Structure 1
């Protein structure tokens, strides 16, 4: 941990005491507010802020980010599910056989779980643990819709417009009305892999829980790759991210495009009443989506918006009420996704929407492990794969803030 010039620690590790971390985070935010209030008073009096105050504010921003990251890691560790449950998908016999396969490569007496390529299907409990851990550390997966499928492509029909209706008199004729317009969305699943390595001595250690070890090794790698793809993936051998969708100004929105609201200023919020454009973005979303909406942005963008206040002097950004909760912005939950772009000319750095309805993640059932003791001696490699897809599910459920003139 580093201690900055203002006496606050920038957390490098998670620590173990979540309550203490949360108390330190709250204290740092109070100091941040006092410093930012001083900065705004300087701007009102002199037209510019003191450089020392600006520097202190940036350091406090870094402190807050460090505390938030430490809290997230500590909360995820505390919430980690136990592997030794009684899940119906993984019998004790299957788990023991899987353990033997991982440790020694033994495939004798295996009656279930052998993949067509010679690999071994991970027992259900371990597979579920990997998915849960990814939910905890992959921000988009935590808020998006998720569906498990058994085929390579998931097809989803959707009604773009409903049937035409009309009022008629009691004895008037009933002309035929236009039918609803249907569209079909396709979500192909593509392969995501990780290849942890271990020595034979490590695997032969009786104390090693091989299922837990595989889950720990691959979940971080899978989560990082997934989040990037869900945000900006181009759909080539990976999911299609929501930022890869066609974009149009909200006033010209039509199905098949994501709508955006422009700030009117290239690479920045408006200099006068900067929060007004954020209010416009909130109300660009229909009420049915807005009630379950979240903000999505990266750490640097969040740091910039953290300084904003409303007309009554209240900060629009508020820390989580509990240690394992989410920060909020303008009353809506805020999700930190580092793959969102930094604020720049014409950047789409802020997303707001009901991601549960707006973005769909498709998981093909099963995580497969192929043991390779030959390619990298003295290490044993474990080629671990899963198939996942993703794409826009409802083009009207997500809106974006464009930092541009139009």
Structure 2
């Protein structure tokens, strides 16, 4: 065995000599490993001692707590309320949240958390249906630039007579007259705050204009049906020259009423009534068991009664004692005269000191029956 000298020892490791002055190599290796292990352990202890693990753990806890807060809450503010904490937790885990937290969500809600989210002003307006009588779709409509329109009318024809060969002729002349359609005025105004006009980005004014248009259309449609002719246009139901059939509503009465009209007017005429009356007629049958009412079999074509079209007018009265629920006629005999369409004037100055803008609306229109012979109405006896 080779013997090592003292200078060949590892580092400064002290190995006691054995008897005879020589050093055992196994003792050198064992001692060196022991010293190395001690050195590594001492260094690890130094690292643990020098590292501030307490601060690191505290920082991690702080970040975790911040992540559990409701987003957008400043760090310096007070802790979120119980409801906010529960809501934040609910957003993360949904219906799997504990029962006590789900209960918290409904403490101030109606019902079941419906008001936890903030309200939103929708840009969609909910409007009620505005029904009007569509008389313009069937009547004769004209424009005018005057306060009234006068139509020359012929009230009679010549009076020719049969004569013999030497008999003297007799003169005759037709009768003439005039029918005037005066223009009436419908108006109103709406006051609206300047703040509402500014904050709604024009939508408030647009809705006011829509409301005015619907209101004016409804009012003129009613006047064309039953207007008094004084401040309103003359309605076709109030014209004294229209012939009427006085009888209870039945299939036979409708047939007789239709064929009491001159053939020229009958073949170009249309019925007018409201939906309630139309529903009653749909149940009626003639003597052969055929329904008087027939549906439309072609797109865009109206339904018919006794083969003639039906115009549903909401402003016609219901069937009742003394009422006039049905009229038949050639609607070119009713004349509508437009002087001014719906005119809207926005006046921001009149009430400027009150922060109010006034919106004026005006409509000038006239209406009248020009040829009463083209109509016939049904009146229910009182």
Query: TM range, normalised to the smaller chain?
Result: 0.5 to 0.7
- Whether the aligned pair in 2 keeps the contact of 1:361 and 1:390 (CA below 8 Å) is yes
Structure 1 residues 210 and 173: CA distance shift in structure 2, 3 A: farther
- Structure 1 equivalent of residue 246 of structure 2: 262
Please tell me whether residue 225 in structure 1 is matched to residue 201 in structure 2. no
- Structure 1 equivalent of residue 251 of structure 2: 275
Unaligned runs of 5+ in 2: 1-128
Please tell me whether residue 288 in structure 1 is matched to residue 248 in structure 2. no
Please tell me whether residue 394 in structure 1 is matched to residue 371 in structure 2. yes
Please tell me whether residue 242 in structure 1 is matched to residue 236 in structure 2. yes
Instruction: State the secondary structure of the residue aligned to 1:345.
Output: coil
Mapping of residues 344-355 of structure 1, within 5 Å:
344-355=320-331
- Structure 2 equivalent of residue 147 of structure 1: 142
- Structure 1 equivalent of residue 335 of structure 2: 360
Structure 1 residues 312 and 196: CA distance shift in structure 2, 3 A: farther
Structure 1 residues 197 and 346: CA distance shift in structure 2, 3 A: same
Unaligned runs of 5+ in 1: 1-76, 78-133, 247-256
- Structure 2 equivalent of residue 298 of structure 1: 274
Mapping of residues 130-141 of structure 1, within 5 Å:
138-141=133-136
Structure 1 residues 165 and 201: CA distance shift in structure 2, 3 A: farther
Instruction: State the secondary structure of the residue aligned to 1:364.
Output: strand
1:326 to 302, 315, 336: 302
- Whether the aligned pair in 1 keeps the contact of 2:147 and 2:182 (CA below 8 Å) is yes
Mapping of residues 6-155 of structure 1, within 5 Å:
138-155=133-150
Instruction: State the secondary structure of the residue aligned to 1:239.
Output: coil
Structure 1 residues 340 and 137: CA distance shift in structure 2, 3 A: closer
Name the larger-Rg structure: 2
- Whether the aligned pair in 1 keeps the contact of 2:155 and 2:177 (CA below 8 Å) is yes
Instruction: State the secondary structure of the residue aligned to 2:290.
Output: coil
> How far off is 1:242 after superposition?
1.4
- Whether the aligned pair in 2 keeps the contact of 1:298 and 1:342 (CA below 8 Å) is yes
Mapping of residues 151-166 of structure 1, within 5 Å:
151-166=146-161
1:176 to 153, 171, 174: 171
- Structure 1: how far apart are the matches of 2:206 and 2:174? 50
Instruction: State the secondary structure of the residue aligned to 1:371.
Output: strand
Report the aligned-residue RMSD: 3.1
Please tell me whether residue 335 in structure 1 is matched to residue 311 in structure 2. yes
- Whether the aligned pair in 1 keeps the contact of 2:342 and 2:363 (CA below 8 Å) is yes
- Whether the aligned pair in 1 keeps the contact of 2:132 and 2:221 (CA below 8 Å) is no
Structure 1 residues 147 and 215: CA distance shift in structure 2, 3 A: farther
- Whether the aligned pair in 2 keeps the contact of 1:229 and 1:239 (CA below 8 Å) is yes
- Whether the aligned pair in 1 keeps the contact of 2:133 and 2:222 (CA below 8 Å) is no
- Structure 2: how far apart are the matches of 1:320 and 1:205? 48
> How far off is 1:205 after superposition?
8.1
> How far off is 1:313 after superposition?
2.9
- Structure 2: how far apart are the matches of 1:184 and 1:214? 41
- TM-score computed with the length of structure 2 as normaliser: 0.58
> How far off is 1:350 after superposition?
0.6
> How far off is 1:217 after superposition?
3.0
- Structure 2 equivalent of residue 98 of structure 1: none
1:273-328 CA-to-partner distances (Å, cap 9, x unmatched) read x3111011101111111122111111221121111122343322233345654322
Q: How many residues are matched?
A: 252
- Whether the aligned pair in 2 keeps the contact of 1:153 and 1:186 (CA below 8 Å) is yes
Instruction: State the secondary structure of the residue aligned to 1:368.
Output: strand
